[in-house]
Structure 1
């Protein structure tokens, strides 16, 4: 649908800098956890400049989440595993998704029962392979892996709304797609939650990038049921209502690839920014920043 673009001027501050490529931010117990792809680290910050390295993930960390007992789950991208971090900081394998995915692991959301919904690239994005749609997997608390959705155009950021609805960003389809979560963790009643223009009708990534009105990457939800969307191609975050109405647009001045509401009152929108997303440009550079902007409506849902 056509977007009603309402740009707003907000003060954006730099919280942290000097990183490679930040993704998958999560607010937890007074700190923001975030994955830095190419230093292979998960970092936690109080949002005021203090940082701790909370995990070293040699095969590149991505999606983050937390089990009901507080232990962290970390998606290890290149070896298709979900790791669990114990109370002392040690890592072990929680689940191996090698037989269930066709590309590197991506973002993840963990529900209140400890079930993790995990996306994957579906194809070798950084290697120049043709675009290929892919699946969404569920990892149960005992490590069992189940494919719960198919035919997704690069499943990326995810939220679980309070009413038990999973919303997933399909980056290369230019949309947010919703599912109802049943008691067993299955996904049903698939529908488009927000469509941003016409989905590209090509498997050529460069052409698809040119055709996308919005490339939804990381997302988070607020207490009015709106979803903040990091637009990976157009240096902005969008606040979107169900149906696709753009309630607010905040230009970021540089690439933004994930966002998370947090802070003491849930009204700080943290932004993972970098000049670009291409691995060959980000791996050796240290230009990524964690930024923040204040908003009116606080966080809700998961993560």
Structure 2
């Protein structure tokens, strides 16, 4: 396994999720400040784009320039326009077994969003389902049972890859023409010490994931290929490795959110966060 060093890009945040590279900038959701942030190109500052009362999580972008944001507490998706308006885009609370979580939005406007499925730290894990929101706003449950559906990526041949945090695996689905999901299967089964959070796909077909929920030496961002072989790691001991995305003009920089907290502190809203970067010798796959 090849290891890579990282450097600090931005610091003094609280709990960062949903890293996305869009329109020449890195974007992020900060749970505990309830803000959607757009960072300066050098990481020295950020702009608060919106405050989400229900705490923001997954981010996505529509071709009209508007931003989709998962509101965790009420399991909805908010739509932010370039003019500054904030409106309800979709309500998936009737399909969610827990608070809203990560999301991916395709270039054609299909959104896929996860939810915790249970009260983290207070209930035993139980399965839930992904939710699909089509470009007209129709909401439906898709795919089979999944356990804590988290980060997602879509391959060029229309396969949705999903991190199942509590099943320690990356799961694959075929995307059908209408946006529904079929042929659920295990893409990579991981060691039980690994809890994959957000994921990013590189052009060689590898998936990078953060190993969340640990501050120990196994904390870091890992690269796995289909079948389960781990090929690379960016260590971040002392922080939860949560979200990652490729960015930069050539999508050749891996951006990573590193949140220093414990499960008890997380429930109390206490955390400190930084974003680090690494050159891992690969490029991110373009959005589809």
Secondary structure of the residue that 1:99 maps to in structure 2?
Answer: helix
Q: How does 1:147-162 map to 2 (within 5 A)?
A: 147-162=141-156
Which residue does the alignment assign to 2:179? 185
Q: Unaligned stretches of 5+ in structure 2? A: none
1:123 to 111, 118, 125: 118
Secondary structure of the residue that 2:95 maps to in structure 1?
Answer: coil
Which residue does the alignment assign to 2:63? 68
- How many angstroms does 1:100 deviate by? 1.2
Which residue does the alignment assign to 1:247? 231
Partners of 1:34 and 1:115 in 2: CA distance: 20
C-alpha distance after superposition, 1:34-81 (max 9, x if no partner): 000010001011341231111110110000001122211000000111
Change (3 A) 1:168 1:252: same
1:287 to 267, 272, 285: 272
Partners of 1:279 and 1:162 in 2: CA distance: 39
Q: Does 1:18 align with 2:2?
A: no
2:168 to 156, 164, 174: 174
Partners of 1:69 and 1:57 in 2: CA distance: 21
- How many angstroms does 1:293 deviate by? 1.0
Which residue does the alignment assign to 2:89? 94
Secondary structure of the residue that 2:32 maps to in structure 1?
Answer: helix
Change (3 A) 1:66 1:298: same
Which residue does the alignment assign to 1:238? 222
2:31 to 34, 37, 48: 37
- How many angstroms does 1:87 deviate by? 1.1
Partners of 2:276 and 2:151 in 1: CA distance: 18
1:164 to 144, 154, 158: 158
CA contact (8 A) 2:265 2:271 kept: no
Which residue does the alignment assign to 1:84? 79
Aligned length: 282
Partners of 2:262 and 2:86 in 1: CA distance: 27
CA contact (8 A) 2:60 2:68 kept: yes
CA contact (8 A) 1:20 1:283 kept: no
CA RMSD after TM alignment: 1.6
C-alpha distance after superposition, 1:118-158 (max 9, x if no partner): 000000104x1111111100011222111002310100000
Which residue does the alignment assign to 2:98? 103
User: TM-score normalized by structure 1?
Assistant: 0.89
CA contact (8 A) 1:80 1:97 kept: yes
User: TM-score normalized by structure 2?
Assistant: 0.93
CA contact (8 A) 2:199 2:244 kept: yes
Q: Unaligned stretches of 5+ in structure 1? A: 1-5, 198-211
1:269 to 250, 254, 257: 254
